[in-house]
Copies of this chain bind each other. A is one copy, B any other.
């Protein structure tokens, strides 16, 4: 048996100390997805984000509102109360808050106490998702929300899903950026044996980390081949761009075509997936997924097939990451990770997250 030497282990731990992990503080100054837009309506939705309990709702005019889910009086969760018009009434003693979070009524006393209320948070709706800013309000800038135009484009057909992931969002991002796992964790779904060995190029920018992988020629697994009509084609190309866009957002773009046909004469198919990671606690993550394609938009069977089969792969990630989180938590101080060349991007990304958090 060749266990790593103490020197290797010491080196591994020194390297890890510069990387974000499950113990790294949250990055508050960032836009995160709070919910799918259609989750938030005229009732009170309870959701924990970045360790804080929030309550979300819409006013009568449809404006989304997010506020701390804790009455200032006796800490009763507002989400257990009532939405009354555009105000929230605490279910314990009836304190009433307006959409700005100001307490405007305390029924048991003649005069409502002055200058009390709960914090509200800037929200911004972009297509199917609602973004929230939980950092310094003075820094909230909607133009900083990573734009994914295709998610709002009616020329794209979409499907969405959600996981209550039992893992830190750090490991989800690392999973997304290190796609060599497709040949193993996803051997029976979206991966193929040749995926891991296919050539890649990396791009590192300011808070952006991208990997482009070219798998060609290849035989596509059914989840890709069926909806594109490339089933059985031995000369398929699969060009994948994986990009970390922010601590909250990750985009995968896959381009598929038959490389035996010359450019211009062949059909090309684009499939995009937005992976939206919103930390709930240090070891749980709201994992929102949006899946889109630019072809066969009206083909409900294709939508159904792709949703079913892609989410089988995401199920694998969620199960694997939950298992990983459990092992990492259990190891505590004993833990060490030995990185290899293919981890370069993930390591750079985790160093970036660590820098943003400190």
Measured CB to CB, the residues of A under 8 A from B are: 1-5, 8, 53, 67, 70, 72-77, 80-81, 89-94, 100-103, 106-110, 113, 115-120, 174, 178, 180-181, 183-185, 196-197, 320, 323-324, 327-328, 330-331, 335-343
Contact = CB atoms under 8 A, between A and B. Distances in A.
Given A75-B328, A180-B94, A115 B80 contact: no
A30 to B, nearest CB: 20
B320 A74 contact: no
Contacts of A2: 100-103, 115-117
Given A1-B119, A92-B185, 15 more contacts: A2-B115, A3-B101, A8-B116, A70-B327, A73-B338, A73-B340, A73-B343, A77-B323, A90-B184, A92-B324, A93-B342, A106-B340, A108-B178, A108-B340, A116-B338
A94 B184 contact: yes
A305 B8 CA distance: 57
Given A107-B197, A109-B340, A327 B1 contact: no
Q: How many copies of this chain are found per oligomer?
A: 3
A132 to B, nearest CB: 14
A115 B340 contact: no
A49 to B, nearest CB: 14
28 contacts: A1-B67, A1-B101, A1-B117, A1-B118, A2-B100, A2-B103, A2-B116, A3-B119, A4-B72, A8-B115, A73-B337, A73-B338, A75-B335, A76-B320, A91-B184, A92-B181, A92-B185, A93-B196, A94-B180, A94-B181, A94-B183, A94-B184, A106-B340, A106-B342, A107-B180, A108-B180, A113-B338, A116-B338
In this complex, the member of A67, A91, A335 whose beta carbon has the largest number of chain B beta carbons within 10 angstroms is: A91
